[in-house]
Chains A and B, each alone.
Chain A
Amino acid sequence: MSRRPTCDEAMPRGDGHDAPLVQIGLPTGARSTGFEATRRDVLSLMGFSLGAIGLGAGCRAPVQHAVPLPSASTEMVPGVPNLYATTCGGCGASCGLVVKQRDGRPIKIEGNEASPLTGGGTCAAGQASVLSLYDDARLRGPVWLGNAVSWSEIDRHITTMLGGGGSDRRAIVLLSPTINSPSTRAVLADFRTRFPGFRHVVHDPMSLAALREANRLAFGAAVVPHFHFDRARVVVALEADFLGTWLAPVEFSRQWARRRTADGTRGFHVQCEAGLSVTGSNADLRLAVAPSELGTVAVALLAAVARRVNDAGLAALNATGLGQTAPHAAAIDRVADALARHRGESLVVTGSDDVATQLVVGKLNALLGNIGGADGPIDLARPSLQAQGDDAGVPALIDDMNRGAVSALIIWGANPVYDHPDGLAFRKALGRVPLTISFADRRDETSAHVHALCPDHHFLESWGDAEPVSGHFSLAQPLIAPLHDTRAGAESLLAWAAPAAGAAGAGKPADHRLYLRDFWRRALYPRAATAAGFDDFWERTLERGVVELPGPAVQTHAFAGDWQGAVRDIVTRASRAGTDHGGYELALHETVGARDGRHANNPWLLELPDPITRLTWGNVASIAPATAAALGVATGDVVTLTTETGKLELPAFVQPGQDRRTISVAVGYGRWAAGKAGDGIGANVYPLARVENGVRRYAARVNVAKAGRRARLAPAQTHFSMEGRDIVQSLTLASLEHEHEHEHEELPNLWRERLHGAHAWGMSIDLDACTGCSACVVACQSENNVPVVGAEQVRKSRIMHWLRIDRYFDGDGEDATTVHQPMMCQHCQHAPCETVCPVLATTTSSEGINQQVYNRCIGTRYCANNCPYKVRRFNWHNYTANDDFPYNMTSPLGRLVLNPDVTVRSRGVMEKCNLCVQRVQLGKNQALLQRRPLADGDVATACQQACPTGAIVFGDLADAGSRVSKLLAGRRAYRVLDDLGTRPNVGYLKKIELKEKA
């Protein structure tokens, strides 16, 4: 007789089965653990032992089906991932990506190693952007006046209303953040030819208008220069978080890390800032400086450097004696020494929102000869094309709208109602515009008030290109057919710009891909000095993702800015500030998780602990310990921040390193129309900083008062001191050269040495290169199907991240020093967890990986208790398909992001880092299929691949030639809690301390 399957096949498949768009051979399922099965098995076993039932009995499983494609595809083999190069749409930096597509869906974002800018790095937001593709809050199709309609219908409405297309009096305005896509710029040009009255207003929530304005005044070109931190032996950053959030953090991190060499050529990095930033936490010397003092410090620095290079023209400056009155005078002198020593190979950079300060810094760089030159640290000729925002634009636009001078407003990627100080005014003004259109992918704060919602694709669904730095081009191609009835923004514009019916070429459907290809043929291919035909060029570029096409250089002249005027301006303001010393200064900043707020509905980013505060799910008012004491405020007390443009209630957070006169608050929170996960998380601080004579300020005078309430924060780490234990070790360059540094002596061990098999997988983490940017954390979450648990569970310290970045402070004053330490399973060869598990659910494999077998685990949690690194994570609840946890794993759409090669863990199971064993197995299998031995570097873990500074190296310790073996044999290598004799396969490289400390 043929028995039907019994119950244990009724296993919930992680995904794939409910995948609407992939109908392929076999269950693509992220294999959710079959704990159901084991349970039923036991029940039926009990039933049997009671003699109640016979063998054939037992419940029936729903029969599983396998549905092959109607016709075979050569592109896609079921179960074999494809990699496609594209361009990140996460922020303006447009990093090159290689996206892993499995059975027709993108499931993992990786950096594009071919990119000369990022070299394969990514950031947390970029890693998480794949989840936004499967966001339930996305619009399913176009909406006209609140009703879902078809594209043809909405096009009809819009084209008729655009009609002749405005005039110089009644303009059609496009409001968007910086657009660095050449093809899109061409689309806009076409649009302008069709509609003469067309205008483009660029609005960046966090803008660099002051920098561009200063460069216009100084060098005659309003550009954001292309910075080369790797060409600078000395980097001085004034309020510029270039490793975390400023301009192009991934590219800059890579450059910066190149200077973190363990020898005499090591760079020296000085950071002057109000709130502790990721960059500041990695600086060799950090000076706490209030925003109002930034100018003074710049001037003092200029004066100090001037003295050293004894530049005649600057004698007058010395007379002002600012060098003395400015804070940190002594430190500034030391910095000036370093700068003067490295003329031409140093870099002073500031994100200040004050043109005068920018001018002074420009002068300083000019004085030091850092500008221009073939390998100068500052490149004005081939500038960055990011952050082109024009702060005066939005206020002017609001006026025009109110004056009725705008006939149609198209909003593309901008959300001014949320992220502009005049958001409220903007929303009111929207009502005065006859036709408002938004390309937003959801009903957000702004698009909720427009007439026509024409949702744009997610960047993983659409074609496109980018030119983040002039000459550096990057192509974007769709990884998946659009999930919903959306349309590329450029395509919409083309459709509306199509010649009116009857005119030549009418009725030709706009096709973004063809347009893009055609544009590249026309505009860019000629610049490519290649013999190959366009088709080859196109194919190769598409495959490689990035291409360098040198263009004409921007014409600039030598520094000609009125720096004396700037200095005078700063001095007078400083003295005025000196007179009225009441209240504090509010300093707005971005965090690596929330950035400017556009990713607000992404649970991965919401639950990403901030590298500095280690807080999740919300922003806080960071207050210096001294100030907190003065105000009688403790962490968690709600404080009221009042500026002249508004007030705000936020929980206070006592932050070492914070300048004592400033309160720092992260932007990007407090969205109210982002989606289920993101709404009402934290508070929106944008309205508290205003636009001042054409430039948007990110600082303001603020009054702080206790609100008398307490808020419950959700910290991922509660204790900030290392308690004098040598967990994060460091050494000085001197001691590194020093020969007689005591060798690491072997400790006696009661266990037999463990024989390893063909490989012994290990990892090395360079604490000197790790910035704490947290890209690896999200990469790990995305690769390994790590669930999001929500604020309440994080409060109970039940966060599930396999890889966390511990952060310790030394001291708690303004001069507190910070260290970051990525901490995950250390893969001990004498693992404490292994001996105590009663059921052998965790053991060390023949290849040195401490393996966790989910389906064997019975959940005693003994292993977690016995783990000295506390890296094991227990599934306290069922986090999948459980309405108590309404995050991506509970939504059928969100589950599409799950990695089919990694089991989705069930409740009551222990889990932890397994060194991406699925990648190891895949790598070994690839080698086997190609009949070759596995080479070093064939396998990269998710965290390693994501790391922009290359701090993480994974490899085979059994192969003495492998990179990881060499690194872990070096002098800087050490193991955490070595004296416990756990013999980890994960090792760390000690931080390097420069003598220069404040």
Chain B
Amino acid sequence: MSAGGIHTSDPTTGAAPDTLPATRWIEGTPSLHRITSDISRPMEAKPGRGWWICFALASAAVLNLLGMVGYLFAKGIGIWGLNNAVGWAFDITNFVFWIGIGHAGTLISAILLLFRQKWRTSINRSAEAMTIFAVMCAGLFPLIHMGRPWDAFFIFPYFPNQRGPLWVNFRSPLVWDVFAISTYFTISLVFWYLGMIPDLATLRDRAVGGIKKFVFRILSLGWNGSQRTWSRYEIVSLVLAALATPLVLSVHSIVSTDFATSLVPGWHTTIFPPYFVAGAIYSGFGMVLTLLIITRQTMHLERYITVNHLEAMAKVTLLTGSLVGYAYATEFFNAWYSGNVHERFHFINRATGPYAWCFYLMVLCNVLTPQVLWWKRARRSVPLLFVVSILVNVGMWFERFVIIVVGLHRNFLPSAWGMFYPTVFDIGILVGVFGLFFSLFLLFIRALPMIAMWEVKGVSNG
């Protein structure tokens, strides 16, 4: 069938995505104007009741977060369940979890751009937004887990200082984190903003004046859509993409060194960098799926975020999920193969100790669940994908929890063994950060084009 066909191809029976003609990444053939108006509708129309409910819940969680963090700063880390045996638990678990979430965005927009993957066009904008919000959430934890944020500036190597000067410990992975994450955040932000400029210009032109027009005029940096602008724009995007690509791998590799460079059994492992990157992309795609499935329903963008997109992401999820499963197996094998009494004990304890249920939950969610995606039907069933994506998020959170807490609570000296029990503040802050993330995202889909119009137009069949 010709690409110019009027009728919309039925996803289930229609042309197989992998045979020519290429999968159509938009339902139907909307006119370019139609695309613009469809995508900018959420920004121009009044928000619906669904949006308001979600936003109310999310911002309630944010208020709770503010309260609890305030109390934390006043009272100290003692209000958490941490103790002499377990020095990190929910705090760093959340940190690694959110950093992981922050991976899909740049992967999609940078790597897929370089690989000329057309299906990225309608999801990259929101994925990038998600990345930025996730990194913001992640960045919160290194700060609050010290309990005294006013001293946090010690971690920056600044000069001049009164101390002689006294610098930081460049051997410490926490210092590497500071650089890795701030770099990642900056690049992602720039990339995201740059990608929006043409659309911002469009919005500027659509805006009927007033404050909105003013803001968009500033933000679109006087974009004029000329041939020259476009060609330079394309070049800059490619350059930035090339810059961002290594970061996708570096950030989580470095985060993983927080554990890999220590000598805690279960942390001290060489496979951590690739294993963490895979896990990060896995969880990132899980979150993208969750968000897009919700928004395409509520914002009526099924036309642009098609089942084909979802399927493509499902495939990545399946791949990375299997990688993660493989990593789990490798860890156990190495523990046995090393013959190290502490390593061996750690993994026996992981599978049979007091936190075994977390371990099995994690295996269930991360290794078994994605296997259903071997079936095309499963990959194209939106409700199923939604369930899978949620489970993936749960599983990945527990993965970090298992690594951190099981590693700490029983290691070298049995006399120092302990248990970690979360307090209401641990849980409250966990929930609160989800609230923060979602309220940011909800605001985003209201304030900015959540789909890159100009790119979608590029793949439209109109």
Contact = CB atoms under 8 A, between A and B. Distances in A.
A38 B151 contact: yes
A723 B152 CA distance: 40
B146 A860 contact: yes
A725 B341 contact: yes
Interface in A141-186: none
Given A797-B418, A870-B85, A839 B262 contact: no
Contacts of A798: 78, 83-84
Contacts of A35: 148, 151
B443 interface: no
Interface string A369-407: 000000000000000000000000000000000000000
Given A839-B155, A840-B166, A907-B147, 15 more contacts: A38-B150, A719-B415, A722-B414, A723-B345, A725-B341, A797-B83, A821-B415, A823-B413, A837-B169, A838-B155, A858-B152, A865-B262, A868-B263, A870-B412, A908-B147
B59 to A, nearest CB: 26
Contacts of B261: 835-836
B151 A39 contact: yes
A727 interface: yes
Interface in A797-847: 797-799, 804, 806-808, 821, 823, 832, 835-840
B214 interface: no
B394 interface: no
Given A796-B83, A868-B263, A870-B84, A836 B413 contact: no
Contacts of A866: 262-264
Nearest to B177: A838
Contacts, number: 165
A306 to B, nearest CB: 45
B143 to A, nearest CB: 10
Contacts of A799: 84
Given A38-B151, A866-B262, A719 B146 contact: no
Contact of B414 (A723, A804, A838, A864): A723
A151 B29 CA distance: 105
B418 A808 contact: no
B153 interface: yes
Tell me whether chain B's interface is mostly helix, strand or loop, or mixed: loop
A334 interface: no
Interface residues of B, number: 51
A517 interface: no
Most buried by B among A43, A861, A873: A861
A865 B264 contact: yes
A943 B87 CA distance: 27
Contact of A861 (B75, B87, B263): B87
A721 B76 CA distance: 33
Interface in B416-446: 416-419
Interface string A711-733: 00000011111111101000000
A719 B155 contact: no
A718 B145 CA distance: 26
Interface of A: 35, 38-39, 42-43, 45, 717-725, 727, 793, 796-799, 804, 806-808, 821, 823, 832, 835-840, 856, 858-862, 864-866, 868-870, 872-878, 907-908, 976-977, 980
Interface string B134-170: 0000000010011110111111000000000011110
A469 to B, nearest CB: 38
A908 B148 contact: yes
Contacts of A869: 412-413, 416
Interface in B157-216: 166-169, 171-175, 178
Contacts of B155: 838-839, 858
A85 to B, nearest CB: 37
Most buried by B among A720, A722, A798: A798
B82 interface: yes
Most buried by A among B77, B88, B258, B414: B414
A865 to B, nearest CB: 5
Nearest to A906: B148
B148 A718 contact: no
Interface in B248-276: 258, 261-264
Interface string B68-88: 000000011110011111011
B366 interface: no
A721 B88 CA distance: 25
Contacts of B153: 42, 45
Given A860-B145, A865-B87, A878 B168 contact: no
B154 to A, nearest CB: 5
B408 interface: yes
A861 B150 CA distance: 16
A727 B416 CA distance: 12
Interface of B: 75-78, 81-85, 87-88, 142, 145-148, 150-155, 166-169, 171-175, 178, 258, 261-264, 341-342, 345, 408, 410-419
Tell me whether chain A's interface is mostly helix, strand or loop, or mixed: loop
A878 to B, nearest CB: 6
5 contacts: A858-B154, A862-B172, A865-B262, A866-B264, A872-B84
Contacts of A721: 414
Given A799-B84, A874-B84, A856 B411 contact: no
Given A35-B148, A727-B413, A858-B152, A838 B174 contact: yes
A907 B85 CA distance: 18
A821 B167 CA distance: 38
A596 B432 CA distance: 52
A875 B417 contact: no
B150 A837 contact: no
Contacts of A872: 84
A860 B418 contact: no
A837 B155 CA distance: 10
A859 B146 contact: yes
Closest 9 CB pairs of A and B: A876-B78, A870-B416, A806-B415, A861-B87, A838-B174, A877-B78, A39-B150, A838-B172, A868-B412
A42 B150 contact: yes
A927 B167 CA distance: 33
A719 B148 contact: no
B76 A42 contact: no
Contacts of A835: 169, 171-172, 261
A873 B148 CA distance: 17
Contact of B77 (A720, A821, A876): A876
A371 to B, nearest CB: 43
Contacts of A860: 142, 145-146, 174
A812 to B, nearest CB: 14
Contacts of B151: 35, 38-39, 42, 858-859, 908
A838 to B, nearest CB: 4
A507 to B, nearest CB: 60
A839 B168 contact: yes
A765 to B, nearest CB: 15
Nearest to A725: B341
B186 to A, nearest CB: 20
Contacts of B75: 877
A772 to B, nearest CB: 12
Given A719-B414, A798-B78, A865-B264, A43 B150 contact: yes
A832 B263 contact: yes
Nearest to B263: A832
A976 B77 CA distance: 31
A814 B82 CA distance: 36
B262 A832 contact: yes
Contacts of A717: 415-416
Nearest to B341: A725
A838 B151 CA distance: 12
Given A868-B413, A876-B76, A980-B263, A836 B146 contact: no
A817 B455 CA distance: 75
A869 B76 CA distance: 25
A688 B147 CA distance: 49
A34 to B, nearest CB: 12
Contacts of A874: 77, 84, 87
Contacts of A723: 345, 414
